[in-house]
Amino acid sequence: MIYPQNFEQKIGFDQIRALLAESCLSPLGEERVERMAFASSREEVEEWLDQVEEFVRVTQEEDGFPDQYFFDVRPSLKRARIEGTYLDEQELFDLLRSLTTIRDIVRFLGRGGEEGEEASYPRLRKLADDITVFPALIGRIDSILTPYGKVKDNASPELGRIRRELASAMSGISRSLNSILRQAQAEGYVEKDVAPTMRDGRLVIPVAPGLKRKIKGIVHDESTSGKTVFIEPAEVVEANNRVRELESEERREIIRILIEFANLLRPQIPEILRSYEFLAEIDFIRAKARFALLTDSLKPSIEDAPLLDWTMAVHPLLRMSLAKQGKEVVPLDIELDASQRILIISGPNAGGKSVCLKTVGLLQYMLQCGLLIPVHERSRAGLFGSIFIDIGDEQSIEDDLSTYSSHLTNMKVMLKSCDERSLALIDEFGAGTDPQIGAAIAVAVLRRLNAKRAFGVITTHYQSLKLFADENEGVVNGAMLYDRHLMQALFQLEIGNPGSSFAVEIARKIGLPEEVIADATQMVGSVYINADKYLQDIVRDKRYWEGKRQSIRKQEKQVEETIARYETELQELRDARKEIIAQAKEEAERVLRESNARVENTIRTIKEAQADKEKTRQARQELADFHASLDAMLDGEKEKKIARKMERLKEKQERKQQRKLQAKDEAKTPPSRQTAAPIAAGDTVRIKGQTSVGQVMELSGKSATVLFGSIKTTVRADRLERSTATKGEAPRRTSFVSGETADRIYERKLNFKQDIDVRGMRADEAVQAVTYFIDDAILVGMDRVRILHGTGTGALRAMIRQYLATVPGVERFADEHVQFGGAGITVVDLDR
| Cα–Cα distance for residue pair 447/453, rounded to 1 Å | 10
What burial letters (b/e) apply to 136-163, b meaning 16+ CB within 10 Å?
Answer: ebbebbeebbeeeeebbeebbeebeebb
Phi and psi, residue 165, nearest 5°: -65, -40
> Higher pLDDT residue, 801 or 518?
801
CA atoms within 13 A on the CB side of 574: 6
Share of the chain above pLDDT 70, in %: 81
Asked if residues 379 and 310 have their Cβ atoms less than 8 Å apart, the reply is: yes
Nearest to 465 by CA among 494, 490, 505, 436: 436
Residue 11: per-residue pLDDT: 92
pTM above 0.85, yes or no: no
Task: Determine the length of the chain.
Answer: 832
What burial letters (b/e) apply to 104-116, b meaning 16+ CB within 10 Å?
Answer: bbbebbbeeeeee
pLDDT digits (tens, 9 = 90+) for 383-423: 999 999 998 755 444 444 566 788 888 899 999 999 999 99
Reduce the DSSP state of residue 232 to 3 states and report it.
strand
| Cα–Cα distance for residue pair 650/570, rounded to 1 Å | 11
Phi and psi, residue 332, nearest 5°: -115, 130
> Higher pLDDT residue, 710 or 217?
217
Nearest to 361 by CA among 402, 313, 323: 313
Residue 731: per-residue pLDDT: 46
Mean pLDDT for 772-787 is: 85
pLDDT digits (tens, 9 = 90+) for 530-546: 666 666 666 666 667 77
Nearest to 708 by CA among 722, 721, 696, 725: 696
Q: Which amino acid is at 218?
A: I
Task: Please state the separation of Cα 176 from the chain's center in Å.
Answer: 63
Query: Residue 306: pLDDT band by 50, 70, 90 thresholds?
Result: very high
**DSSP assignment of 678-691:** PP-TT-EEEETT--
Residues 6+ apart with CB under 8 A from 468: 344, 443, 446, 447, 475
What is the end-to-end Cα distance of the chain in Å, rounded?
Answer: 78
**DSSP assignment of 205-226:** EEE-GGGGGGS-EEEEEE-TTS
Asked if residues 220 and 202 have their Cβ atoms less than 8 Å apart, the reply is: yes
Query: Residue 102: pLDDT band by 50, 70, 90 thresholds?
Result: very high
588: pLDDT strictly greater than 50: yes
pLDDT digits (tens, 9 = 90+) for 154-189: 999 999 999 999 999 888 888 887 887 777 777 777
Q: Which amino acid is at 784?
A: R
640: pLDDT strictly greater than 70: no
| Cα–Cα distance for residue pair 455/732, rounded to 1 Å | 87
| Cα–Cα distance for residue pair 264/532, rounded to 1 Å | 81
Angle between helices 503-510 and 514-524 (to 10 degrees): 170
> Higher pLDDT residue, 657 or 492?
492
- Taking the CB of residue 515, how many other CB atoms lie within 10 A of it? 8
Relative to beta strand 217-222, strand 301-302 is: unpaired
733: pLDDT strictly greater than 70: no
Q: Which amino acid is at 577?
A: R
Using alpha carbons only, what angle is made at residue 675 by residues 669 and 680, rounded to the nearest 5 degrees? 155
Query: Residue 46: pLDDT band by 50, 70, 90 thresholds?
Result: very high
| Cα–Cα distance for residue pair 616/30, rounded to 1 Å | 105
Query: Residue 431: pLDDT band by 50, 70, 90 thresholds?
Result: confident
Query: Residue 315: pLDDT band by 50, 70, 90 thresholds?
Result: very high
| Cα–Cα distance for residue pair 122/591, rounded to 1 Å | 62
Share of the chain above pLDDT 90, in %: 35
Reduce the DSSP state of residue 3 to 3 states and report it.
strand
CA atoms within 13 A on the CB side of 485: 2
Maximum CA extent, the chain: 145
Using alpha carbons only, what angle is made at residue 508 by residues 504 and 511, rounded to the nearest 5 degrees? 145
Asked if residues 529 and 507 have their Cβ atoms less than 8 Å apart, the reply is: no
pLDDT digits (tens, 9 = 90+) for 614-638: 666 666 666 666 666 656 555 555 5
β-bridge partners, 456:
342, 424
| Cα–Cα distance for residue pair 718/687, rounded to 1 Å | 9
Mean pLDDT (the chain) is 82
